[in-house]
C-alpha cells in the first residue's frame, strides 16, 4: 500500500528520501476555477468557516494537490486588531482601508502600542475565529489523507498593517528600538493565532512575512526587526512551521532558518540551485514555481518545466513561489501537479 499525501508531505518536511517530492501549495491558492468547481467563493468564503473549508480543500479535490490550506489573505489579523477592511469581491482580495495607529506626516510611530485587544478575545474575533473553525472542519473531512495548512501573518508585516508599513520602515531607519517595540508587542498575537490553528486541527502553520522582504528591509535589519520575533511566534510552535518571505530572499535564507522553523518558502527570484546551496539542509525548501510567470501568464509546458527544475535542484516540496493569483488557469496548476506526480 502506497503512502498517503499526508505521509508524503510530512516525510518531505523531515527531508527524508522519497521517490518524488509532493506537489503541495502552502501559500494561498484559491482560484476562480476552484470556486466554480466547489461552489464556495469569495467574498463569502473569507467569513464563513464551512465555505472557507470547502474552498481550501478544493486544492486537493479539484487539482490533486497534496495538502489543503486556508485562510485566503493577510488581513484577518489586522481586522481583528482594529484595521478597517474592504472585503473585496468575487475576484478581488480583502484590502486594508486604513491604519488605526498612523501617526503624523513626519512618519513617526507611536512610542508604544495602546488599545490593543486582549489576546484571548483576539482569537475569538472575526475572521481569525473563522480560520480556526475552518481548520476543525478540514481536519474532519481531509485530515486522514492530507496535511492541513493554516496560514497567518508575520509580526513585522502585521505591525505595518496597524502603523502603515511606510511609517514602520521609516522608524526602522530612524528609531529602530521603537520599531522593535511594536513588532515585539504584535508577536504574541501571531503566536496565539498559530497555536489556535494547530489546536483546531492544522498540521502546518505557514506564516507570510512579505514586509520583511529584502525589497523593504536591509538583510542586516531582518534578524533584529523580524527574525527574532518570528522565532518566538512561529519557530516555537509545537507543529510543522513554514516561513514565507517574498522577493529575492537569498541574502536572508540563513536568517530565515535561524528562526527554528521546519522549512522556508522561496520565490522564483532565487534560482532553486542557489536556494538549496544556501539552505545547506538546515530546513525543508518549499517552492519555487513563479506565480506571475509561468503559473499566471505562462503555458502548461512552462509550468511543468519550472516544476521539474525545482524538483531536480532538490526542493523538498514543489509549490508556487508565492500566493497563486486568483485568475491562474486550471491547466497550469494541473501541469504543476502532473509534472511532479506523473
pLDDT tens digits for range 164-199:
999 999 999 999 999 999 999 999 999 999 999 999
pLDDT of residue 1: 61
pLDDT of residue 104: 62
pLDDT digits (tens, 9 = 90+) for 9-42: 999 999 999 999 999 999 999 999 999 999 999 9
How much of the chain is in helix, strand and coil states, percent to nearest 5?
50, 10, 35
Grid cell at residue 8? 508524503
Which run of H or E residues covers position 287? strand 284-289
Which of 107, 261, 112 has its CA nearest to residue 184?
112
Is 103 a residue whose pLDDT tops 90? no
pLDDT of residue 216: 97
Distance of CA 20 to the CA centre of its chain: 23
pLDDT digits (tens, 9 = 90+) for 214-236: 999 999 999 999 999 999 999 99
Which run of H or E residues covers position 100? none
**CB hemisphere CA count around 271 (13 angstroms):** 3
* Class of residue 32 by CB neighbours under 10 A (exposed 0-12, middle 13-18, buried 19+): middle
pLDDT of residue 107: 72
* Class of residue 144 by CB neighbours under 10 A (exposed 0-12, middle 13-18, buried 19+): exposed
Is 111 a residue whose pLDDT tops 90? no
pLDDT digits (tens, 9 = 90+) for 276-327: 999 999 999 999 999 999 999 999 999 999 999 999 999 999 999 999 999 9
**Global pTM?**
0.97
pLDDT of residue 106: 67
- Are 160 and 154 within 8 A, CB to CB? no
For the chain, give the mean pLDDT. 96
Amino acid at each position: 500500500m502506497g503512502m498517503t499525501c499526508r505521509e508524503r508531505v510530512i516525510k518531505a518536511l523531515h527531508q527524508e528520501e522519497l521517490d518524488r517530492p509532493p506537489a503541495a501549495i502552502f501559500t494561498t491558492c484559491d482560484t476562480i476555477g476552484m470556486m466554480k468547481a466547489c461552489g464556495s467563493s469569495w467574498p463569502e468564503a473569507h467569513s464563513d468557516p464551512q465555505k472557507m473549508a470547502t474552498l481550501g480543500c478544493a486544492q486537493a479535490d479539484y487539482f490533486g494537490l497534496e495538502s489543503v490550506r486556508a485562510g485566503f489573505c493577510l488581513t484577518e489579523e489586522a481586522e481583528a486588531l482594529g484595521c478597517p477592511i474592504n472585503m473585496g469581491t468575487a475576484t478581488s482580495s480583502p484590502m486594508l482601508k486604513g491604519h488605526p495607529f498612523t501617526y503624523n506626516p513626519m512618519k513617526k510611530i507611536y512610542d508604544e502600542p495602546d488599545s490593543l485587544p486582549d489576546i484571548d478575545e483576539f482569537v475569538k474575533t472575526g475572521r481569525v475565529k473563522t480560520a480556526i473553525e475552518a481548520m476543525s472542519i478540514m481536519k474532519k473531512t481531509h485530515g486522514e489523507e492530507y496535511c492541513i495548512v493554516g496560514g497567518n501573518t508575520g509580526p513585522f508585516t502585521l505591525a505595518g498593517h496597524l502603523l502603515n508599513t511606510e511609517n514602520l520602515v521609516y522608524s526602522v531607519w530612524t528609531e529602530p528600538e521603537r520599531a522593535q517595540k511594536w513588532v515585539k508587542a504584535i508577536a504574541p498575537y501571531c503566536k496565539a493565532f498559530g497555536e489556535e490553528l494547530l489546536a483546531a486541527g492544522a498540521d502546518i502553520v505557514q506564516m507570510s512575512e512579505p514586509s520583511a522582504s529584502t525589497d523593504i528591509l536591509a538583510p542586516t535589519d531582518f534578524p533584529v526587526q523580524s527574525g527574532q520575533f518570528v522565532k518566538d511566534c512561529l519557530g516555537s510552535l509545537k507543529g510543522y512551521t513554514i516561513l514565507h518571505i517574498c522577493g529575492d530572499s537569498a541574502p536572508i535564507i540563513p536568517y530565515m532558518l535561524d528562526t527554528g522553523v521546519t522549512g522556508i518558502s522561496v520565490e522564483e527570484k532565487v534560482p532553486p540551485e542557489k536556494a538549496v546551496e544556501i539552505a545547506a539542509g538546515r530546513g525543508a525548501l518549499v517552492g519555487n514555481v513563479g506565480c506571475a510567470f509561468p503559473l499566471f501568464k505562462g503555458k502548461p509546458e512552462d509550468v511543468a518545466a519550472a516544476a521539474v527544475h525545482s524538483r531536480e535542484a532538490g526542493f523538498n516540496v514543489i509549490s508556487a513561489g508565492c500566493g497563486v493569483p486568483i485568475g491562474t488557469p486550471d491547466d497550469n496548476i494541473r501541469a504543476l501537479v502532473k509534472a511532479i506526480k506523473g
